[in-house]
Amino acid sequence: MLTQSVDTLAAVAAVDLVKVYGSGDTAVRALDGVTVGFARAQFTAIMGPSGSGKSTLMHCLAGLDTATSGQALLGGTDLTKQSDKVLTKVRRERIGFVFQAFNLLPQLTAAQNITLPLELSGRKPDAHLYAHLTETLGIVGRLDHRPGELSGGQQQRVALARALMSRPEVVFADEPTGNLDSRSGAEVLLFLRNSVRELGQTIVMVTHDPGAAAYADRVVLLADGRVAGELDRPDIASVTDALQSLAVAR
Ligand SMILES: Nc1ncnc2c1ncn2[C@@H]1O[C@H](COP(=O)(O)OP(=O)(O)OP(=O)(O)O)[C@@H](O)[C@H]1O
Kindly report, residue by residue over 16-47, the tens digit of the pLDDT: 999 999 999 999 999 999 999 999 999 999 99
Strands 12-21 and 28-38: antiparallel
What residue's CA is closest to ligand 1, atom 17?
Answer: 55
Task: State whether the beta carbon of 27 lies less than 6 angstroms from ligand 1.
Answer: no
Find out whether 61 and 222 touch, Cβ atoms under 8 Å. no
For residue 121, pLDDT over 90 is answered with no
User: Which atom of ligand 1 is least distant from the CA of 59?
Assistant: 18
Find out whether 153 and 180 touch, Cβ atoms under 8 Å. yes
User: Which atom of ligand 1 is least distant from the CA of 52?
Assistant: 21
User: Which atom of ligand 1 is least distant from the CA of 206?
Assistant: 22
* Cα 40-137-232 angle, rounded to 5 deg: 35
Q: Please give the pLDDT value at position 209.
A: 95
Task: State whether the beta carbon of 48 lies less than 6 angstroms from ligand 1.
Answer: yes
Report field, pTM of the whole predicted structure over 0.90: yes
Q: Please give the pLDDT value at position 5.
A: 62
What residue's CA is closest to ligand 1, atom 24?
Answer: 50
Which DSSP category does 66 fall into? -
Kindly report, residue by residue over 193-236, the tens digit of the pLDDT: 999 999 999 999 999 999 999 999 999 999 999 999 999 999 99
For residue 4, pLDDT over 80 is answered with no
Residue 203, SS3 per DSSP: strand
What's the rounded Cα separation, in Å, for the pair 144 and 187? 22
Task: State whether the beta carbon of 68 lies less than 6 angstroms from ligand 1.
Answer: no
Provide the pLDDT confidence category of residue 9 given band limits of 50, 70 and 90.
Answer: confident
Find out whether 165 and 118 touch, Cβ atoms under 8 Å. yes
Task: State whether the beta carbon of 50 lies less than 6 angstroms from ligand 1.
Answer: yes
What DSSP string runs through 34-62? Answer: EEEEE-TT-EEEEE-STTSSHHHHHHHHT
Architecture of domain 40-53+83-249: 3-Layer(aba) Sandwich (3.40)
Mean pLDDT score, 60-75: 96
* pLDDT mean across residues, the chain: 94
User: Which atom of ligand 1 is least distant from the CA of 48?
Assistant: 21
Task: State whether the beta carbon of 178 lies less than 6 angstroms from ligand 1.
Answer: no
Secondary structure string (H, E, C) spanning 72-85: EEECCEEHHHCCHH
CB atoms within 10 A of CB 187: 18
Q: Please give the pLDDT value at position 1.
A: 43
Find out whether 241 and 50 touch, Cβ atoms under 8 Å. no
Phi then psi for residue 67, to 5 deg, are -75, 160
Mean pLDDT score, 160-180: 95
Task: State whether the beta carbon of 23 lies less than 6 angstroms from ligand 1.
Answer: no
At residue 212, what is the residue type?
A
Could you give the ipTM of this predicted complex?
0.98
What's the rounded Cα separation, in Å, for the pair 52 and 216? 20
Residue boundaries of the structural domains of the chain? 40-53+83-249
Q: Please give the pLDDT value at position 194.
A: 95
What residue's CA is closest to ligand 1, atom 1?
Answer: 21
What is the CA(49)–ligand 1 centre distance, in A? 11
What residue's CA is closest to ligand 1, atom 6?
Answer: 21
For residue 48, pLDDT over 50 is answered with yes
Which DSSP category does 28 fall into? E
